[in-house]
C-alpha cells in the first residue's frame, strides 16, 4: 500500500513538472487539430452544393495552383503588460484574437501561426484598395504596453524577421505598415516611440527627405493621404495616423506646410 501511494505521488509530481515545462501543450494540440480540419476541407473538392449550377458529371481538377500568400505586414504593440499575458490572450478561444508573431522584450520571437493561414489581428481595416487585411497580411505583435519605448532586442529581431518575410513573399516596400495606418481613428499602435525611420532605412516602408521640396499651389493634402494608402473617409483620423507614423511628436490633427512637404516627397515613392 505504501508503494502504491508513493507511485501515485511520483506520477502526480511528473504530471505537474510536465505541465509546467509545456504550459501550452493543450492549445498546441488544439492548433494541430484545427489545421487538420482545414486540410480535410481542402480534400473535399469538388464541392456539391445547392447553388443550382449545371455541374459537370465528372470532376477535372487543375494541376496548377499554389497556396495564397501574404502581401502586407501589419505591426502592432500588444497593449498588455508582458509577453506571457499576450501568449495567453492568443490561446484563449473566447478572445478570438491572434497574430502570426509575437516579439518579447528580450527579442525572443514566438511564431504562433503559419504565415499562410489567416490571423485575427487587423479587424475592420483598409490600406490602399485592400480591405479585410486579415486575409492578405501577416500580423506582428511587439510586447509593449503602448506607453513605452521598444527595446533594442525587439527591433533587432523585428528587422531580421521582416527581411525573411520580404524575401519569402516578395512584399512591396510600401506594404510594411502599422495597425494605426490601416485603421485610422480606431487604433494607435505601434505607439509614437516606434522607429519607423530605422525600418525604412532597412527597406521596410518609406521615409521622406524634404530638403528640396516645394509645395505647389492648390496641393490637396487629403488626396495625398489617399495616394499613400490611408482611408480618408474620416480625414482627421487619417491625419492623426499619418502623423503618428511620420511626425510622432506632433499630435495635432491638421496638416501644416512641413507635413505637405513630407506628403509630396512620399507620394513619389508610394505611387
Note the pLDDT tens digit of each residue in 19-70: 456 889 999 999 999 999 988 888 887 776 666 778 788 888 889 988 889 9
Return the closest-CA partner of residue 162 out of 131, 154, 80, 269. Answer: 154
Indicate the residue among 204, 223, 244 that finishes a domain: 204
Indicate the residue among 204, 225, 241 that finishes a domain: 204
CATH number of the domain that residue 156 is part of: 3.40.80.10
Q: Quick check: 190 pLDDT over 80?
A: yes
- One domain, residues 86 and 194: yes
pLDDT score recorded for residue 148: 97
Q: Which three cell numbers stand for residue 131?
A: 480591405
Catalytic positions: 141
Q: Domain containing 219: what range?
A: 208-271
Q: Which three cell numbers stand for residue 225?
A: 493621404
Q: Name the average pLDDT for the chain.
A: 91
- One domain, residues 125 and 137: yes
Q: What radius of gyration, in Å, describes the C-alpha atoms of the chain?
A: 23
Tens digit of each residue's pLDDT (9 = 90 or more) over 77-133 = 999 999 999 999 999 999 999 999 999 999 999 999 999 999 999 999 999 999 999
Average pLDDT of span 249-259: 95
- Map grid coordinates 509575437 to a residue: 102
pLDDT score recorded for residue 77: 98
Q: Is residue 224 included in any domain, yes or no? A: yes
- One domain, residues 124 and 200: yes
- One domain, residues 188 and 220: no
Residue 200 or residue 8, greater confidence: 200
Q: How many domains does the chain have?
A: 2
Q: Which three cell numbers stand for residue 215?
A: 509645395
- One domain, residues 178 and 77: yes
- One domain, residues 193 and 119: yes
- One domain, residues 114 and 186: yes
pLDDT score recorded for residue 9: 45
Indicate the pLDDT class of residue 213, thresholds 50, 70 and 90. Answer: very high
Return the closest-CA partner of residue 266 out of 173, 147, 146. Answer: 173
Return the closest-CA partner of residue 102 out of 92, 89, 117. Answer: 89
Average pLDDT of span 143-154: 97
Amino acid at each position: 500500500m505504501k508503494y502504491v501511494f508513493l507511485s501515485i505521488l511520483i506520477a502526480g509530481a511528473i504530471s505537474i513538472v510536465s505541465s509546467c515545462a509545456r504550459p501550452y501543450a493543450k492549445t498546441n494540440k488544439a492548433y494541430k487539430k484545427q489545421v487538420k480540419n482545414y486540410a480535410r476541407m481542402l480534400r473535399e473538392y469538388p464541392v456539391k452544393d445547392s447553388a443550382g449550377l449545371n455541374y459537370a458529371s465528372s470532376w477535372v481538377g487543375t494541376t496548377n495552383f499554389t497556396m495564397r500568400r501574404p502581401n502586407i505586414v501589419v505591426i502592432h504593440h500588444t497593449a498588455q503588460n508582458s509577453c506571457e499575458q499576450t501568449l495567453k490572450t492568443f490561446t484563449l478561444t473566447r478572445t478570438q484574437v491572434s497574430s502570426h508573431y509575437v516579439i518579447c522584450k528580450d527579442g525572443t520571437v514566438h511564431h504562433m501561426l503559419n504565415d499562410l493561414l489567416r490571423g485575427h489581428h487587423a479587424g475592420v481595416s483598409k490600406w490602399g484598395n485592400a480591405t479585410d487585411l486579415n486575409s492578405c497580411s501577416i500580423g506582428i505583435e511587439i510586447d509593449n504596453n503602448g506607453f513605452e519605448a521598444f527595446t533594442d532586442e525587439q527591433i533587432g529581431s523585428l528587422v531580421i524577421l521582416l527581411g525573411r518575410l520580404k524575401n519569402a513573399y516578395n512584399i512591396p516596400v510600401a506594404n510594411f505598415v502599422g495597425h494605426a495606418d490601416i485603421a485610422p481613428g480606431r487604433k494607435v499602435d505601434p505607439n509614437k516611440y516606434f522607429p519607423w525611420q530605422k525600418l525604412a532605412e532597412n527597406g521596410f516602408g518609406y521615409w521622406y527627405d524634404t530638403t528640396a521640396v516645394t509645395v505647389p499651389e492648390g496641393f490637396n493634402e487629403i488626396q495625398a493621404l489617399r495616394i499613400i494608402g490611408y482611408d480618408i473617409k474620416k480625414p482627421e483620423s487619417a491625419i492623426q495616423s499619418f502623423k503618428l507614423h511620420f511626425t510622432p511628436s506632433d499630435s495635432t490633427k491638421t496638416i501644416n506646410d512641413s507635413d505637405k512637404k513630407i506628403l509630396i516627397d512620399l507620394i513619389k515613392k508610394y505611387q
